[in-house]
Amino acid sequence: MPRDRSLPIFEIESDLRAALDSKNVRIVIEAPTGSGKSTQVPQMLLDSGKCDGDIYVLQPRRLAARMLARRVAQERDGRCGDDVGYQVRFENVVSRETRIRYVTEGILLRRLLEDPNLNGVSAVIFDEFHERHFFGDVTLARCFGVQKIRRPDLKIVAMSATLETESLVGYLGDGTQHLKSEGRMFPVEIRYSPAKERHGDQLWDHTARAIRERFREMGKIEGHTLVFMPGRHEIRKTVAALKNASWTKGIEIHELFGEASPNAQDAAVGKSSQPKIVVATNVAETSITIDGVTTVIDSGVERRSSFDARRGISTLTIEKISRASADQRAGRAGRTRAGVAIRLWSERDHEGRPPATPAEIQRMDLSEAVLVLKAGGIEDVRGFEWFEAPNPQGLNAAFSWLTILGALDPEDESLTKIGLAMSKVPLTPRFARVLIAAADAGCLEYFSIIAAATQGRPIFPKQKRRSSDLTLDDFREPDDGSDFQALVRAWSSASSAKFNVGHCDSMGINANASREIGQMAQQFSKSVRRLSNVEHQDREPDSDEVARILLTGFSDRVALRNSTSTLACSVIGGRCGQLEKDSVASDSKGTRLFIAGEMIEIEGRNLNVKLNFATRLEESMLAEILPDDFVDKVGAVYNETNRRVEAREERRFRDLVLESRPRGEPPLDEAAEILAREVMAGNLILKRWDQAIEQEIGRINTVAAAFPEYEIPSIREEERLLLLIQICDGGLSYKQIKDRAVKTAIAEWLPPHQYRLLDQFAPERIELSSGRSVKIFYDPDPAVKPKISVLIQHLFKVRETPTIANGRVPLLIEILAPNSRPVQVTEDLAGFWKGSYAGVRTMLRGRYPKHDWPEPES
């Protein structure tokens, strides 16, 4: 198949060739989607004769890597795996001849780790750089570093449809070549069509309705229709809704997502003389171009994984896409001629959306990343030259989790032997740790099934369709201590049936999901097997072993049932959990502790999680394996109900309270401090701590600030707590402290000779020059000036601002009208008489004509 030389990217071919001649080549290519970047630029590099070695093309998506390699191989009249190939996780279609390799991020990173100098690689192309995937950022930083020091001949190209090119060019520094192609775009009309409540539609019904209206309006259907859906489930539902409708007769309907069959994928993208509808994930947003699309229907959402650093869980949620993504999607309708994009949300919703999707580094679990970077010899991960630094909280969480897993040394955060082994397993650190432990026990195959089953699609369809359908419960055996045991048995029965659809279906098991789990498990076990010396890995562990091995990677998922009669649990990390009701751990006999194999955040509820796939745990086992994580403590705790401090004896596993029972009287000093803190927090109120006390503290703080030379201790937060502790001394309950004297404690704060200074420098009252005495209001906060409030009539004979503290502190004067309402606050009384008094006088004289209003000074 010949290359399409009319693609816009050929405009920059000669500039690109020229740019390859210098040393330290860094090129940023910006061209709209469909211009030919992904298919043509790698070939231009290869055909330039300036790249002797391999050309790596980094793709964020597996599907794109596969399809691009197939396409480019065809364009070069070869087969995929000849001079053009691809490598994605668990799939290698390359040979010794392969020069252009489309790869995903993990592959490039591992290549970099195995050979930091990238010998034999001439160029690395970072495609779709605007998506800002974590490993894309990291590998770019590494390649850039390698080029600077050891490989000036390594060519670096970053490509994107919508690039924040400024920052990237800035990062890559002087000498970066910036090539742009405008491409061709036809106008796209944007329409907003939110779901109408009265229809009560599901997303797919709403979509079908929108397509139907568009087709009606067109009369004769021109061009193809591209529908964006968040994931496979929604795609399948949409396809079904369309196929069931009578008006779609004669229209091809295709699906496009990562796990669809290669034939289905090719059919979705391939040429077609008939109008077709392609229902796709966001892979069709910028990675893959379908020619001839004139209508885009955009659901406005995508599946996005993110990691909650505070709660320590990853979530895969459906999120609204950004405005930039919506524009990209709409643009797909205007590639060959003018088109229409229909957004299934309102314009108002649109305006409230973020302009762009935040970079992955700001929302991911960084532990895997930290591990891989450490293994790559980057000791100072915190000081890494990030294109965009991750949030420090997330980074800290990653370091402490890796330390708990034993991957990092607690002393100096260096990589341990286990950490190094874990870094070689293409799984989350949690499962890497578990599988390594399983391999040491010869149970790798068994645990690989567990790992795959928790990552893949469920073996049992969500809804039980027939009463004869089996459930997990049917695969249990009396001695089971883990829900995983039944799960593995269920999978094994599907495996024994050779994943035969009919056979599995008769058991209510999803044959395809089971087959996929089996394939995934094989890959897992293959990657871990080489790390272990144990030859046979097919042993089936008993309940006790399942718990022990799981614990290596799940010690942060230890949960405690609140009682035998409820499914409510406490989980490490201060979370509350709800245990699945048919779990082995939900018995009413004696299970207290268990490991949650799956923890799902209950949406919108802070710190609430659902706990699935439990494995029972004995406390003795926990104590034996992780003895250092137990804390026994006798201490005082505040009981809110009776407002008393009580002594309790507690036994904890990390922050999980396993046992807590009352034990005699608490130590009095601890009790006083606990009560004092409750008072500080405003939960308990001392009857005698009134405004006069605050005034007294204000006086002390005023003198302390005005006369630093006397070294008078002021009373701030910390000192206030000390005072309160002193007042609460010997008390155990609110009842005992609520009427306690406060004033003496304050009076004793200062020695008598200092206390006397208060009356001298911060008196309670001041005599004005008119002879009248007024009260001074002091605030405990020294930034708030002492204040007097005086009727304007009483101030007429006072010309200058009165002061205290030997003239060091001028008073703030609140000037009151005859009705005692403030009319002005000033620190400069002389200025007031000269200035604003005239206006104040006019105003007040009108209201109070009988009062005396002296003429203002001129």
**Which option in ligand ADP, Mg ion, none does residue 34 bind, with CB closer than 5 to 8 A by kind?**
ligand ADP
Instruction: Rule CB under 5 A: say whether 39 interacts with Mg ion.
Output: no
Q: Which of 296/599 has CB closer to ligand ADP?
A: 296
Q: Residue 7 CB, nearest distance to ligand ADP (Å)?
A: 6
CB 674 within 8 A of CB 687: no
Q: Residue 168 CB, nearest distance to ligand ADP (Å)?
A: 17
Name the residue with the smallest CB distance to Mg ion: 38
Q: Which of these, 122, 106, 104, 123, lies nearest to 114 by C-alpha position?
A: 106
Q: Residue 329 CB, nearest distance to Mg ion (Å)?
A: 15
What single DSSP character describes residue 415? Answer: B
Rounded distance, CA 275 to CA 424, Å? 47
Q: Which of 182/759 has CB closer to ligand ADP?
A: 182
Q: Which of these, 762, 721, 775, lies nearest to 745 by C-alpha position?
A: 721
Q: Residue 131 CB, nearest distance to Mg ion (Å)?
A: 11
Question: Burial, 432: exposed, middle or buried (Cβ in 10 Å; 0-12, 13-18, 19+)?
Answer: buried
Q: Which of 37/374 has CB closer to Mg ion?
A: 37
Q: Residue 388 CB, nearest distance to Mg ion (Å)?
A: 22
Pinpoint the alpha helices (H) of 584-658.
619-625
Q: Which of 72/700 has CB closer to Mg ion?
A: 72
Q: Which of 268/435 has CB closer to ligand ADP?
A: 268
**Which option in Mg ion, ligand ADP, none does residue 421 bind, with CB closer than 5 to 8 A by kind?**
none
Q: Residue 259 CB, nearest distance to Mg ion (Å)?
A: 21
Rounded distance, CA 208 to CA 205, Å? 5
Tokens representing 818 are 């005859």
| Phi, psi of 545, rounded to the nearest 5 degrees | -70, -35
**Which option in ligand ADP, Mg ion, none does residue 67 bind, with CB closer than 5 to 8 A by kind?**
ligand ADP
For residue 612, the surrounding DSSP H or E stretch is strand 608-617
| Phi, psi of 365, rounded to the nearest 5 degrees | -80, 115
Pick the stretch among 33-41, 195-203, 346-354, 586-594 that binds Mg ion (CB under 5 A). 33-41
**Which option in ligand ADP, Mg ion, none does residue 291 bind, with CB closer than 5 to 8 A by kind?**
ligand ADP
Pick the stretch among 29-37, 181-189, 243-251, 315-323 that binds Mg ion (CB under 5 A). 29-37
Q: Which of 71/206 has CB closer to ligand ADP?
A: 71
Tokens representing 631 are 């804390």
Q: Which of 71/343 has CB closer to ligand ADP?
A: 71
Residues that bind ligand ADP (CB under 6 A): 7, 31, 33-40, 67, 71, 269-270, 289, 291
CB 108 within 8 A of CB 58: yes
**Which option in ligand ADP, Mg ion, none does residue 7 bind, with CB closer than 5 to 8 A by kind?**
ligand ADP
Pinpoint the alpha helices (H) of 124-231.
134-149, 165-172, 203-218
Question: Burial, 533: exposed, middle or buried (Cβ in 10 Å; 0-12, 13-18, 19+)?
Answer: exposed
Q: Which of 37/430 has CB closer to ligand ADP?
A: 37
**Strand extents, DSSP E, 170-257:** 177-180, 188-192, 224-228, 252-256
User: Looking at beta carbons, which pairs linking 516-521 to residues 24 or more positions away fall under 8 Å?
Assistant: 516/452, 516/456, 516/457, 517/449, 517/452, 517/453, 517/456, 517/457, 517/459, 517/491, 518/449, 518/452, 518/491, 520/90, 520/451, 520/452, 520/455, 520/456, 521/445, 521/448, 521/449, 521/451, 521/452
Rounded distance, CA 231 to CA 527, Å? 28
Rounded distance, CA 531 to CA 205, Å? 51
Instruction: Rule CB under 5 A: say whether 181 interacts with Mg ion.
Output: no
Q: Which of 65/520 has CB closer to Mg ion?
A: 65
Q: Residue 457 CB, nearest distance to Mg ion (Å)?
A: 29
**Which option in ligand ADP, Mg ion, none does residue 552 bind, with CB closer than 5 to 8 A by kind?**
none
Nearby residues of 23 by Cβ (< 8 Å), 6 or more positions away: 152, 153
**Which option in Mg ion, ligand ADP, none does residue 35 bind, with CB closer than 5 to 8 A by kind?**
ligand ADP
Coil, helix or strand at residue 674: helix
Q: Which of 270/831 has CB closer to ligand ADP?
A: 270
Q: Which of 289/836 has CB closer to ligand ADP?
A: 289
Q: Residue 41 CB, nearest distance to Mg ion (Å)?
A: 9
Rounded distance, CA 616 to CA 480, Å? 9
Q: Which of 38/695 has CB closer to ligand ADP?
A: 38
Q: Residue 161 CB, nearest distance to Mg ion (Å)?
A: 7
Give CA separation, 91 vs 66, 94, 622, in Å: 10, 9, 39
Q: Residue 357 CB, nearest distance to Mg ion (Å)?
A: 17
Instruction: Rule CB under 5 A: say whether 38 interacts with Mg ion.
Output: yes
Q: Residue 171 CB, nearest distance to ligand ADP (Å)?
A: 22
Q: Residue 336 CB, nearest distance to ligand ADP (Å)?
A: 9
Q: Which of 37/130 has CB closer to Mg ion?
A: 37
**Which option in ligand ADP, Mg ion, none does residue 730 bind, with CB closer than 5 to 8 A by kind?**
none
**Which option in ligand ADP, Mg ion, none does residue 39 bind, with CB closer than 5 to 8 A by kind?**
ligand ADP
CB 210 within 8 A of CB 195: no
Q: Which of these, 113, 115, 108, 116, lies nearest to 88 by C-alpha position?
A: 108
Within 10 angstroms of residue 5's Cβ, the number of other Cβ atoms is: 9
Rounded distance, CA 385 to CA 392, Å? 14
Site residue total, Mg ion (CB under 5 A): 2
Tokens representing 118 are 């990238």
Q: Residue 288 CB, nearest distance to ligand ADP (Å)?
A: 7
Tokens representing 460 are 């049992």
Rounded distance, CA 228 to CA 796, Å? 78
Nearby residues of 238 by Cβ (< 8 Å), 6 or more positions away: 203, 204, 207, 208, 227, 229, 279
**Which option in ligand ADP, Mg ion, none does residue 36 bind, with CB closer than 5 to 8 A by kind?**
ligand ADP
Q: Residue 187 CB, nearest distance to ligand ADP (Å)?
A: 18
**Which option in Mg ion, ligand ADP, none does residue 64 bind, with CB closer than 5 to 8 A by kind?**
none
Q: Which of 70/433 has CB closer to Mg ion?
A: 70
Q: Which of these, 847, 787, 835, 841, lies nearest to 813 by C-alpha position?
A: 787
**Which option in ligand ADP, Mg ion, none does residue 569 bind, with CB closer than 5 to 8 A by kind?**
none
Q: Which of 37/61 has CB closer to Mg ion?
A: 37
Pick the stretch among 32-40, 518-526, 574-582, 753-761 that binds Mg ion (CB under 5 A). 32-40
Pick the stretch among 30-38, 320-328, 339-347, 842-850 that binds Mg ion (CB under 5 A). 30-38
**Which option in Mg ion, ligand ADP, none does residue 139 bind, with CB closer than 5 to 8 A by kind?**
none
Q: Which of 34/541 has CB closer to ligand ADP?
A: 34
| Phi, psi of 347, rounded to the nearest 5 degrees | -65, -35
Q: Residue 501 CB, nearest distance to ligand ADP (Å)?
A: 30
Q: Residue 118 CB, nearest distance to ligand ADP (Å)?
A: 23
Q: How far from chain centre, in Å, is Cα 738?
A: 45
Q: Which of 9/486 has CB closer to ligand ADP?
A: 9
Q: Residue 28 CB, nearest distance to ligand ADP (Å)?
A: 14
CB 386 within 8 A of CB 137: yes
Task: List interacting residues with Mg ion (CB under 5 A).
Answer: 37-38
